Structure 1
Amino acid sequence: MLEHIRPQRRTVIVGAGVGALAAAVAACSSKDETATAESSSSPAASSSAAAAPGAALAKTADVPVGSGVIVDDVVITQATAGDFKGFSTVCPHAGCNVNKITDGKIICPCHDSEFNLDGSVAKGPAKKPLETKAVTVQGESIVAG
């Protein structure tokens, strides 16, 4: 008797489409939450405080030549002696925070983008450089602004 009760073909197709859409939305939202959780656990994201203009970020002696440091939301590099540059920690590819500087490269953990010490892209998928942040040297300190 149940053999004669079958849903219409249109009902099955529409139901499958709605189910696929719901699964895609759920996958996207859980991926975003994972990326946020990963980026918030990185050392670069450990502080949500933005560097106020004039605020001391680091000592010049703390930024190695040919490398850099990450302080709050600023990457400070010193490619050559005395040439300090500042960049945003936010990767322009997907908005994750870069979290380390290794072998003269600034690394984004989300998709393995790498940036040179001047902020330019060394390896994608990022296509744009890191955003520049103004830093100046005052005495032995590197300050925002």
Structure 2
Amino acid sequence: MIGFMSEMQPNPQRHSSLPCSRRSFLRGVAVATAATASGALLAACASEEVVAKADAADLEVGGATILDGWVLSRPSEDEYKAFSTSCPHAGGTIDSIERSGDTTVAVCPKHMSKFDVATGDVLEGPSRDPMVPAKKVERNGDSIEITD
């Protein structure tokens, strides 16, 4: 029994062969996590890129156009909106603009989903999700810039 007890005592030589302590390991994990989070935050704050431009005079109030992968609309005199032409239902390409009464509608030919170009809302399914908006749409002089 005495021999058994002596084997159970801590052996400093045995632990010195470990690459790092639990505390050191957790500290390393925390540093790696913080670095990853910082990188993601910096990427999110990076300058946004203008992906499309249009001449403001070419877009009448209540109208819309398709431009470089975006549905660009002008719901009112001083308001511009842009939505991706990628249909949220099944990834088809929204490729036409129609008038339906007083509403301007973007249409995906893949399954005939229809969207209000002023809001991006679904007017007619099968899509249940609205169109995806651009990060920013603003008038800059005589042009409208879409940023994503």
Normalised-by-shorter TM-score class = 0.5 to 0.7
Which residue of the other structure, out of 60, 68, 72, is the alignment partner of 1:76? 72
Please provide the CA RMSD for this pair.
Answer: 1.5
- Relative to structure 1, the CA distance from residue 55 to residue 123 in structure 2 (aligned partners, 3 Å threshold; closer, same or farther) is closer
Instruction: Give the distance between the partners of 2:98 and 2:113, measured in 1 at CA.
Output: 13
What is the TM-score when the length of structure 1 is the normalising length? 0.61
Count of matched residue positions in the alignment of Structure 1 and Structure 2:
94
Q: Report the CA distance between 1:56 and its aligned residue.
A: 5.0
1:106–1:114 contact (8 Å) kept in structure 2 = yes
Equivalence for 2:56: 60
1:67–1:105 contact (8 Å) kept in structure 2 = no
Runs in 1 of length 4+ with deviation above 2 angstroms? none
Q: Look at both structures and tell me which one has the larger radius of gyration over its CA atoms.
A: 2
Identity, % of aligned positions: 35
Higher strand share: 2
2:122–2:129 contact (8 Å) kept in structure 1 = yes
Equivalence for 1:110: 110
Equivalence for 1:8: none
Unaligned runs of 5+ in 2: 1-47
What is the TM-score when the length of structure 2 is the normalising length? 0.60
SS in 1 for 2:90: coil
Residue type of the partner of 2:139?
V
Q: Report the CA distance between 1:75 and its aligned residue.
A: 1.0
Equivalence for 1:144: 146
SS in 1 for 2:57: helix
Unaligned runs of 5+ in 1: 1-51
